[in-house]
Each structure stands twice: as C-alpha cells, then as structure tokens.
Structure 1
Amino acid sequence: MISIIVPAYNAEKTVKKAVESAIHQTYKELEIIIVDDGSKDNTRKILEQMAGSDTRIKLIKKDQNEGLSAARNSGMSCASGDYLTFLDADDWIDVEHIEKLLEADKERHSDLIIGGYTHETMNETRTEAIVKREVKVDAKYIDRRKEILKSAVYFDSKKVFAYTCIKLYKTNIINDNNLQFEKCPLIEDFLFNVKYWNYITSLSSSDNTGYHYVKATSEALTQRFLPNYFELINVRLDAMRSLLQQNNLYVGNVRTMVANVHIKHCIAAMVRNNAEAAGFSIKEIYRENKRILKHENSVEAAKYAKGSTIQERVCNLIFKTKCASLNSFFAYIVCKMQNSKGAVFDKLK
C-alpha cells in the first residue's frame, strides 16, 4: 500500500489534475490523502466531489490555513501505507510513476526509493509548456551506511535531495522516530530529508522522471522574495554539514560537492536581492552582496569548491573573486534572465 499525500490551499485551478493523476495510477494499491488547508476558493468543493467518486480518497478538512508543513504532518499522521509520498496540488504525475519507482526497488523493500522529475515552465495561463527539462539520477541500490550518507550530497548536487514529492518513504520509520516537517519556508523538505537520512540503511534510486514539477513564467523565484533567504541557505548548509561531520565524512570530494551547491545558493541569494519586492537600491544590493561574500560559510565554500559542470565552474570563478561589484553585476544579469518572458534562464539550464 502506498499513501499519496496531497496538501491543497486555494488550488481550484490545478488540484483536479493533480488528484486525477494519482487516481489513474497503474499501481492501484493506493490511498490518496488530501488535506484542504483552509482554502477560501472552490478547492474544497472540487475535492468533496472527487472524494465521493473514489473510496481510496481520504479528505482532511481544515478550517484555518496552517501552512504546507502542518498540512503534510496531518496527512502523515493518518497514513496507513507501507510507503508514503507527496504530491503538490499544482503538479501532476505520469500514470506509471508509482509503479516505476517500485520496479526500480526490485522488491528489496528499501528504506527510501528516490526518482527524478520533469521540470515544466508553463506560460502565464498554464496552458502551454515553454520549457521541459528532465532532472534525473542514476538507477542504483545502496545498502552501506557510509555510501548512503555520501549519496545525500550526490543527490543534492543533482537537484533531487531537497524534494519530498519524488521519494517513497517507509511510513514506519517516520512514525517510529516521530519525524515531522518543520515550519521553515523553502527548506522544510530539505530539513525533513536530512532527518530521515539518519535512519535509513538501504535506498534504491530510479531514472524515472514521471513527477511533473510545474512552474508558470509569472512565478520566477525573485518575485517570491524572502528577506531571510541567505539565512535559510546557511541553515540548509549547517544541516547537511552536521549530518556528514557526525559520521566523519565531511572531507575530500564530499566537502567539495557541498561547497559547489552552497555557492550556487549564495548567488541565488544575490539574484533575489535584485527583485522588485526586495526594494533595495543599488548601494543596498552591493552592501548585501558584500555581506554574503564575507560570511564564514561563503569563505569556506570558496576555499573548497571545484566545479564539475560548466554552470558550477562559471559560478565558482565569479564567486571566488570575492568582488562584490562583479558578483552583483552577474546576479543582476541572471535576475533579468530569470524574469524574462521567454523563460531564457530555464532554457539555458
């Protein structure tokens, strides 16, 4: 039995497609737990109609909006599947998504099964995909503790570690260790996975990309400015570094990969400083970017980073200059690309 948890808040335009993609899975041993997190639009009405047509659907109704983490925790608390996973209300999954993830495990009953995803940049009305990009990992099976811990960094460098929607988790591991999502915007998935990684002794990965992560061009990251974004990515780094240091693995190539990832996030912080929502003047952007470059985690990352891809080499080269003016200019260009109507940034990625 697989439990699919779907948090939904004011998702009347997308939730039906999301839930239908779960209903139509070729793997039928499912329960679909939908948490209406106090929606103010027609989301609940749509979900009530769908729940009446499929007995596998459990609908949790909340009177007040409590946020994504609380919604997922509510869904996990009543999950009865051997494994559980998540599906965001504005995404969808291929009909064979669950089946392919289980096939990759080959009945080993791994503590974690992880796949990739298809990133779709849609036009503003979400009617046409402008860019489709597969994010995948190698199919493998790992049952050695140190290799499992090292794999956290590998998966993070491949941009799949931080997502919970592309993983199947053992429900009993979550329950036995009282694992929950923290109320920490943007990195709640990442922190949950770091905690879960502490308890697993086997994992299978699949090259399946049947999860469709959907983003409209009007949803550029810089338009969702977070004043504490730089602080959050340092919390993120601290969590991963702590996991590795506790097991004497924060050395060599592992440390290098962590540094590469952190530099990209530091540059993302500088990009966000250019957002209109930030309201920063040119002088304020320069000052904030200089603060980022001087932070002890940034200094450490610059010391150990060694890029293996063109993107990493470019980011590292500019970041390692420690020149606030150069980094600010680079961030400004990236910001313009991210917010362009033609999805130029996503096409380059």
Structure 2
Amino acid sequence: MDLGLISIIVPVFNRSETIVKTVNSLLKQSYQNIEIILVDDASTDISFGINQLFVRSDPRVRALRNSQNMGVSATRNHGLKVAKGNWIVFVDADDWVEADYIENFVKMAQKSEAELLISGHLGDHSLARLELPFSKKMMTSREVIEDVIGELGPIGGYPWNKMFKRSIIQRYTIHFHEEISFLEDELFTIEYAQHINKAYYDSKAYYHYEIQEDSLSVNGLSKMLPAIKQRDAILLAEGIDPDDYRHDPISVSRKDWGSWKENLKTNGSESF
C-alpha cells in the first residue's frame, strides 16, 4: 500500500548553520514521494536564501516566508495550510533524520492502519539518553494521551517524532495555538490524539534531536499556564484526572511540580 505524498514541514528561524544538514537528510529519504515545506519565520540571517537554493536544486522542496516573525506555532500552521500530502511530518531545522525515517512510518502505517505513527528518537539530553527496552505496540487514544502527559513516557508531546493524518487535522481543525508559547506542541498532540482510534509506536530511533542551550525562568514557566489549562480541560473531558499526571519540562518529580506552582504564586503569576 502506497501512502501517496507525505508533507514534511520544517519551521526555520535563524538556522543557517544547521538547515543544510537537516534538509540534506530529508532529500536522502528512501521513500521519495515527499514534499519538503521550509517555512522561514522572517529570519535575520541567510536561512531563507539557503532554503531558496534547495528549491532550485530539487522540485520537492518549497520555501515559504512569514512577512514578520510570528513564532513557531504560526510557522507550523503556515506549513499546514499549504501542505498537500496525505500525511504530515514535522522536523525541526536543527535536527536530522535517518534515510529510512519516512519509510519506517510508511511501513508502520501499512502494518497497523493506525492514524498516528510514533518513532523513537535520539538526543543529547538526559531523557533521550535513557535506554528504554526496544518495543513495538498498538496504542489507544487514551494510552497516547496518558503517555504524553506522564512523567517518563517515551512518546513525548513534541510533534517531530510522529506522523499525522492530514484528513484528521483538517476535519477537526487541529492547529498549533499561536497565543501559547510553551507546551503548544504537547497540546497539538493531545488534541489530535482525541480523534484517533489507534496509534502505533516503534521505539527504534530514526530522529536525531539536537537540544538547544535554552533555560526557562520562573517567569518563562508561567507562560505554560494557558496550555496547561487547555490540556487539563481535554483530560477532564476524557475522564482523566490531571493531578494524577502533573509534571513539568524541568523535572519529572511531583515534588518539584508542587514547588514550581508555589514559586508561581509567590511571584504573583496567574494561578490555576
């Protein structure tokens, strides 16, 4: 079974030093029926010029550009609006993938007929270096949501180790919330998972995640609250108690989550 065209959306902002490696890894995919949509978020370096060079060298590449800097959510949404593929894959502009990354998704879809395909990943951060037992498994919608919000679930809320069905995204108008600057990717994944019957997870890693040296202050963490509130509303609608799965991106301990909430209150941030 051929899955037809697969759209790969790459948000780009000032990634001139990494975008070449990223796109080259996509052009080398063994599954070749792809379109690579590079969406530049008004970069101030030469990223967009590099993207245009790729367009000239391969007809599968498209280079778009936001008129002004709008953030990663709006940039991904821009890509979603123009994507033509039956399936959607997201790749970050400072990461790279194995040559059979897309082909593995295709095989997973053929084998399982699932509406969400999930791959393992490798990175230089502590959670990615965890040696999890190799596994392949079918998952229900609820299992995906519980894993995404769980403390050490291997799936994660990020969109870049997953393949999504575009028809589901369109039918339920699923998008990245542009007013939210933290946890917007987790919210997208949870909202999508609400509308599937089953997902398929293969822990073998095909995606290489290069973590950036960014730190989050208490004030930065407070920006997560809008996404957390929307996420909790979804969980309650699914019959899941959010307090059973509290965690934050800095620590996986419930104790630290509680301390974080107290810090927010002490600093006069928005309360739950």
For the aligned pair, the TM-score class normalised by the smaller chain equals 0.7 to 0.9
Q: Does structure 2 retain, via aligned residues, the 8 Å contact 1:100–1:208?
A: no
Aligned pairs for 1:183-262 (under 5 A) are: 183=178, 184-216=180-212, 219-222=213-216, 225=217, 227-230=219-222, 232=224, 234-250=225-241, 256=244, 258-259=245-246
| Matching residue within 156, 162, 187 for 2:157 | 162
| Residue 6 (structure 1) aligned to one of 7, 10, 15 | 10
Per the TM alignment, residue 18 of structure 1 is displaced from its structure 2 partner at its CA by 0.8
Equivalent-residue separation in structure 2 for 1:264 and 1:237 (angstroms): 17
Matches within 5 A, 1:22-37: 22-37=26-41
Matched, 1:99 2:121: no
1:152 aligns to 2:127 (yes or no): no
SS of corresponding position for 1:104: helix
Q: What are the equivalent positions in structure 2 for 1:62-81 lying under 5 Å apart?
A: 62-81=66-85
Structure 1 residues 316-331: aligned runs within 5 Å: none
What's the CA shift for 1:269? Answer: 9.1
Aligned-residue Cα RMSD (Å) equals 3.1
More displaced, 51-60 or 131-140?
Answer: 131-140
* Distance verdict in 2 for CA 1:22–1:255, change over 3 Å: same
Q: Give the deviation of 1:229 after TM superposition.
A: 0.9
Query: Scaled by the length of structure 1, what TM-score is found?
Result: 0.66
- Measured in 2, the distance between the counterparts of 1:152 and 1:132 equals 19
Give the SS at the match of 1:169: strand
Greater share of helix = 1
In structure 1, C-alpha distance between the alignment counterparts of 2:13 and 2:84, rounded to whole Å? 23
Contact 1:156/1:162 (8 A) holds in 2: yes
Deviations 1:100-135 (A, max 9, x none): 2222333443211112211125xxxxxxxx997257
Distance 1:39 1:265, change over 3 A: farther
**Corresponding residue SS for 2:123:** strand
- AA in 1 matched with 2:33: E
Q: Match for residue 267 of structure 1?
A: 256
CA separation of 1:154/1:288 partners in 2, compared to 1, >3 Å: closer, same or farther?
closer
Secondary structure at 2:15 match in 1: coil
Answer yes or no: is the 8 Å Cα contact 1:115–1:205 preserved in 2.
yes
Deviations 1:215-256 (A, max 9, x none): 25xx1424xx36141451x44444443333223343xxx963
Q: C-alpha displacement at 1:195, in angstroms?
A: 1.5
Aligned residue for 1:176? 171
TM-superposed CA distance for 1:167, in Å, is 0.7
CA shift digits 1:145-170 (9 cap, x unpaired): xx421331124331533100111000
Deviates more, 1:44-53 or 1:207-216: 207-216
Number of residue equivalences? 260
1 or 2 for the larger relative contact order (CA 8 Å, sep ≥6)? 2
5+ long unaligned stretches in structure 1:
122-129, 274-286, 298-349
Partner of 2:137: 140
Structure 1 residue 193 displacement after superposition: 1.4
Is residue 89 from structure 1 mapped to residue 85 from structure 2 by the alignment?
A: no
- Describe the superposition over 1:186-230 as per-residue Cα deviations: whole angstroms up to 9, x where unpaired: 2110111121122111211111211111025xx1424xx361414
Q: Would you say the 8 A contact 2:9–2:76 is kept in 1?
A: yes
